Amino acid sequence: MFKEFREFINRGNVIDLAVAVIIGAAFGKIITTLVDGVIMPPIGLLLGGVDFASLFLTLDKAKGVPASLADAKAKGIPVIAYGQFINDVLNFLIVAFVVFLVVRAFNRMKSKQATDEGPTTKDCPYCLTTVPLKATRCAACCSDFQL
């Protein structure tokens, strides 16, 4: 069982997955900082100085109307903190868009490399079977090619 576990861990894709999770967590922190510190303040300013993270709806007004979300939590007043939800949705959309851009750039680079390499196959002049470019004999009809 230990041997199987070691083989599982030593697979390349498990290591790649671990690296992806670590980089993804770090990337998530960067995006959270970007959204909270750079993107949301101008949006809040455009909407009249609103800080989305502090938006909430008081559920039990009998306990009083809190001045802030922190005040509501300190007094134990039940609230719906929809502002943080808005921040989290924006975080998700920004991360998804950035991942889309990275994957799109990678796919373009990959397709450009494939076209730069040129053709890798040719057709047999006798039977028209596709054969590797470096082949000297057709696997289908056994014809010799001119070099």
Residue 145 backbone phi and psi in degrees, to 5: -100, 150
Looking at residue 36, its pLDDT comes to: 76
Residue 117 backbone phi and psi in degrees, to 5: -75, -20
Tell me: the pLDDT tens digits for 40-87? 788 878 878 777 778 888 888 887 888 888 888 888 889 998 988 887
Looking at residue 116, its pLDDT comes to: 64
Tell me: the pLDDT tens digits for 90-140? 878 887 887 788 888 888 887 777 666 667 788 888 888 888 888 888 888
Name the superfamily (CATH) of residues 2-118: Large-conductance mechanosensitive channel, MscL; domain 1 (1.10.1200.120)
Looking at residue 142, its pLDDT comes to: 86
